[in-house]
Chain A
Amino acid sequence: MEKLITKFKKAAPKAALLMAVAAGAALQGCSKMGGDNAGATATALSSDAAAAVYVAPGKHDELYSFLSGGFNGQVSVYGLPSGRLLKIIPVFTQHGENGYGYSEESKAMLQTSHGFVPWDDLHHPKLSRSDGMTDGRWLFVNGNNTPRVARIDLTTFETVEIMEIPNSAGNHCSPYPTNNNEYVIAGTRFSVPLDMKGGTSDIALDKYSEEFKGSISFIKIDQEKGDMELDFQILVPGFDYDLANGGKGPSEDWVYFTTYNTEKAGTLKEVGASQNDKDFLAAINWKLAAKYAKEGKAREMPANYYHNKMDKDTHMAKSTVKKKVRYLLPEECPGMMYLLPAPKSPHGIDVDPTGEHMVVSGKLASSIPVFSFSKMQDAIKNKAFDGEKNGIPVLKYESVLAAEVKEPGLGPLHTEFDGKGNAYTSMFVSSEVVKWKLSDFTVVDRIPVYYSVGHLMIPGGDTKKPLGKYLVAMNKITKDRYLPTGPELAHSAQLIDISGEKMKLLLDFPTVAEPHYAQAIVADKIAPNSVKFHKLEDNKHPHAVKKEADASVTREGKNTIRVKLTAIRSHMTPDNIEGVQLGDTVYFHVTNLEQDWDVPHGFAIMGANNAEALIMPGATQTLKWVPKKAGVYPFYCTDFCSALHQEMQGYIRVSPKGSNVPIIFSTGKKKTGPVASSK
């Protein structure tokens, strides 16, 4: 049988990727897409591309970028322009590599009202902001499937907080920080029938249009520490809320949401949700909403959702279950929410750096409508309404439209900005990035991407001050771009130089799982604050031992053994343990005594049913182990830490239940020093 790759390379016609490819065809047969691939790359690639992305050995990248991992529930960190993978940050998914979600300390991070949910679909990373610009303090991300919002601390690159979102399903339209992190906003993609008691009601599915509702959550952010708190929700008509973005400058009080399925179809949405010629862009004045909530317009309903936080001193996560949520109804809050008609099933909503233009990419539309904030203000003032939906005024399309970008390409999805008056829109169906001018809405350049680009990202391209130097295209389809690896391929990102008039392709790099969106920031805003190790004296873990003399093995109650262990190059204390019995649950609390950068120790024991532990210098991590047979079990350090790493090993003896082996533990046979012996 002919292999996919060779077939593709040989059979592909030389047809250009651009407008010639009919809608849909790009997704179906690979023989129809592509073209003479090598040739296409060569023409698009400028001769100095290698120099532009070369970061010499030992030198650092100019930017950090944070790419979501989609269905892997993680975030990957890449250096730009090199495309070097720097780290994978586990958020909603257990991570065998460092024990996240397996260790006793971190398990609580993944608790939800549905129980322990160790995975999710992570879509949108958004950096925290100060004055409308990224400030490098935190990264907010959404869990789409079991609605959650998480916060990553960028001094440690660790997930420190996860909050479940009640009254939501498919938390796609999320998370969007306002210009000074006042709120992070999260909208539901799948409307559901709310029972107003914290759950969904058991009703016939053909009642969709009457009973289903959406919600938009306003999460208040502590300005100093970043901690999240669900302040209130707005219950909105049962559309599908897809993506959101906030205003800037004059429009900074506003946040916008694309909606589709305004037909309120509950089945075969593929057809049913595309009947209306126009869906809506919802505009919400979040400052007014916050004011209404504060001034008593909010009602309260029972709820049941988890809020999990990692304590930075104990390195332990704790869950709190919240039992109430406040909500506003738009019909009771005049001036808070408006609907702007937008062509067929809009997807991306992106606001230009000045805050005047709202670009709505209708994935099925043939042009890109650009709305004007100042016109919207006038239309509201003059009541240029075209009826209402559920008590929410619908503004007249013409009264809010600035212009339509004509014939941009096929399948527009997302737009970012370079801060020099240009917008860049990704075209999923025609596989290209299209550059157009905000001054006259004309297309000025286009570049093919390989293949079927979803999101694109310019560093700060969604803020007041973009860095108009690079653009990263995140492509949904990889096909022949790299050496084949069987049916499952890495997704592909492409780095494009946007500093000049013409876009230039610089680099391809494979990414982890499926990036949906990304953020990038100059390294100087993060690197100087990066934590190198945890100070032992600040370690407040209840089972930490800070010196070998305090290491211990104790029986607690009937069946629990607590081993408080230390690790330092190149031994563990204790490394000989006896007195464990079948039926015991053993907790290994391992404290890494090193006080130096990049000296983690690992901990693994034969037959452990969870994961290994990886302990950073100065930290304590716990591995739970339940032996199932009597005998002797080795444990060892899994991280190559020193020349004697292979020796960093010990044994634990397990005896039958009721045996009379006492608990004893030791490390080596040590001679006592003169001071001790002279006393």
Chain B
Amino acid sequence: MAEEPGLAHEAATEATEADDGKGIGPVKSVEMGEGIDEALASEGKSLFEGKCSACHQLSDQKVVGPGLAGVTERRKPEWVMNMIINPEEMTKKDPAAKKLLAEHLTQMTNQNVNEKDARSILEYLRQNDQAI
């Protein structure tokens, strides 16, 4: 089976536009409330456990991918959602995501998450970060 595309694949696709930190993908802006929408976050929790927890811890511990503690502070919410929805393109074109791939050497899988579900996962990650 195919291995991850190597660096030779990436060289050809440098990011062209100026980086606004929102990443590359369908999400251009995210509306967020003051506090945490608990209902939304709990939806996000069950999605996270099914589709993400095999590779990500909520602490700062790396497993396959980076530990996700503090990720909503490190990244813009649009960037996080685009990473969830569009990981292949992100790791090829977005400078921050490219760096992550070079560090972790495993392409994050596209877990077929739609925008609505990505939004609830984002809420769950925000909740996680507020609990620190």
Binding site for B on A (CB under 8 A): 535-536, 546-549, 566, 568-571, 573, 593-596, 598-600, 639-644, 668, 670-678
Contact = CB atoms under 8 A, between A and B. Distances in A.
A568 B111 CA distance: 12
A670 B109 contact: no
A673 B64 contact: no
Contacts of A548: 53-54
B55 interface: yes
Contact of B61 (A535, A595, A599, A671): A671
A670 B1 contact: no
A640 B3 CA distance: 7
A595 B1 contact: no
A598 B109 CA distance: 11
14 contacts: A536-B50, A547-B53, A549-B49, A573-B54, A595-B110, A596-B111, A598-B2, A599-B1, A671-B59, A674-B69, A674-B131, A674-B132, A675-B124, A676-B58
Nearest to B112: A595
A641 B55 CA distance: 14
A644 B105 contact: yes
Interface residues of B, number: 34
Contact of B128 (A547, A566, A673): A673
Nearest to B125: A675
A594 B110 CA distance: 9
Interface of B: 1-4, 45, 49-51, 53-55, 57-61, 63-64, 67-69, 105-107, 109-112, 124, 127-129, 131-132
A566 B54 CA distance: 9
B51 A595 contact: yes
Contacts of B64: 568-571, 644
A643 B1 CA distance: 13
A673 B112 contact: no
Contacts of A675: 45, 58, 124, 127-128, 131
Nearest to A533: B112
Given A642-B3, A678-B131, A596 B49 contact: no
A671 B68 CA distance: 12
B1 A640 contact: yes
B53 A671 contact: no
Contacts of B61: 670-671
A600 B1 CA distance: 8
A671 B127 CA distance: 18
A594 B49 CA distance: 14
Contacts, number: 90
Counting chain A CB atoms within 10 Å of each CB, the highest count among B54, B61, B69, B110 belongs to B54
A678 B128 CA distance: 9
Nearest to B56: A673
Contacts of B111: 595-596
B127 A549 contact: no
Given A640-B1, A674-B128, A569 B110 contact: no
Counting chain A CB atoms within 10 Å of each CB, the highest count among B2, B58, B68, B128 belongs to B58
B4 A642 contact: yes
Nearest to A668: B63
Contacts of A677: 131
Contacts of B50: 536, 546-547
A596 B1 contact: no
A390 B58 CA distance: 80
A649 to B, nearest CB: 14
A675 B59 CA distance: 9
Contact of A673 (B55, B57, B106): B57
A547 B50 CA distance: 5
Given A643-B3, A673-B57, A674-B69, 9 more contacts: A568-B55, A571-B54, A571-B63, A595-B112, A642-B3, A643-B4, A671-B60, A674-B131, A674-B132
Report, nearest first, the 5 A-B pairs whose CB atoms are least far apart. A673-B58, A643-B105, A678-B131, A671-B59, A674-B131
Contacts of A549: 49, 53
Nearest to A617: B109
A677 B128 CA distance: 10
Contacts of B109: 569, 594-596, 599
A599 B45 CA distance: 25
Contacts of A598: 1-2
Contact of A570 (B67, B69, B106, B112): B106
Contacts of A668: 63
B41 to A, nearest CB: 9
Contact of A644 (B59, B106, B129): B106
Contacts of A674: 58-59, 69, 128-129, 131-132
A546 B49 CA distance: 9
B54 A593 contact: yes
